[in-house]
Structure formats: structure tokens, C-alpha cells
Amino acid sequence: MSGDKTAGHALAGFLDIITRLRAEDGCPWDRKQTPASIKKYLFEETAELAEAIDEGDPTHICEEIGDMLYILAMLCQMFREQDEFDLDQALSTISEKMIRRHPHVFAGMPTGDDKALKQQWEAIKQQERRQ
């Protein structure tokens, strides 16, 4: 398994590939995609990943995770091109959410059992919706 620096390097290289695919001299198919047009591939790749998990084949799971990452990176690139948000913002948003929803890990709160954790998660989620 790769360390954080290696994963960061691989991610940066992958994002460069996505940017190149969407560039003016990139791939015509990738360039014409929109969030609406790529949505069907998101569903397809999600189903393929679920099937790979059911099969229990790590090599196949790895491949399907890569396919999902491609779709997600394409979506982030599309929204970046529209000056809406980018992958960094999406990652910051999910990081903040995970920290907020896991006070038993990040804020020294008691852990409790699975039922208590689920109730805590739902309570935090409801509070987020109200805000």
C-alpha cells in the first residue's frame, strides 16, 4: 500500500490527466461530457463496483474504484471549469463533515455502542440541515 506522499503524487498526476482530457486539444468524447451526460456512467460504475465487492476480488475492486474516481474527477473538473468548485473544495467539505460527524474520534466525546453512534450521526445530520 502507498504512503500519503505517494498517494498525493498519484492523485496529482491523475488530475493532470483529467485536465488534459478536457483541454481544447484533449479527447473529444471527454470534452463534450456534462454533469448530466456523465450521470449514467456514475450509476453504471457504482453498480460495477458493488458487483466487484460482492465477488470479493481485490484486483477487480481496485479497477472499479479507479473507474469511480475517474467519473468523480471528471465531475469536479467540469464544475471547476464553470468556476463553481474544484476537487480541493469537495475534499475539504467531506473532511469537515467527517470530523463534525465523528466527535467521538476528533473531539474526545464518548464512543458508545453502534446504536448510540448511529443516533449521534443522525442528530448531527439533522442539526446540519437546520443550519
Q: Are 73 and 14 in contact (CB under 8 A)?
A: yes
Domain for residue 38, yes or no?
yes
Give domain status of residue 124, yes or no.
Answer: no
Residue 96 lies in a domain: yes
Please indicate, yes or no, if residue 19 is contained in any of the structural domains: yes
How many domains, the chain? Answer: 1
Question: For residues 35 and 75, is the Cβ–Cβ distance under 8 A?
Answer: yes
| Inside any domain, residue 120 | no
pLDDT, tens digit, for every residue of 74-120?
A: 999 999 999 999 999 999 999 999 999 999 899 888 888 899 899 98
The rounded distance, in Å, linking the Cα atoms of 23 and 14 is 14
Domain of residue 45, residue span: 4-100
Domain assignment present for 108: no
pLDDT for the residue numbered 112: 82
> Would you say residue 32 lies in a domain?
yes
CATH number of the domain within which 17 lies: 1.10.287.1080
For 98-102, which contacts have Cβ atoms below 8 Å and span 24 or more sequence positions?
A: 100/124, 100/128, 101/125
**Cut 0.75: pTM above it:** yes
Q: Which residues contact 17 (CB under 8 A, 6 or more apart)?
A: none
C-alpha cell recorded at residue 76: 469536479
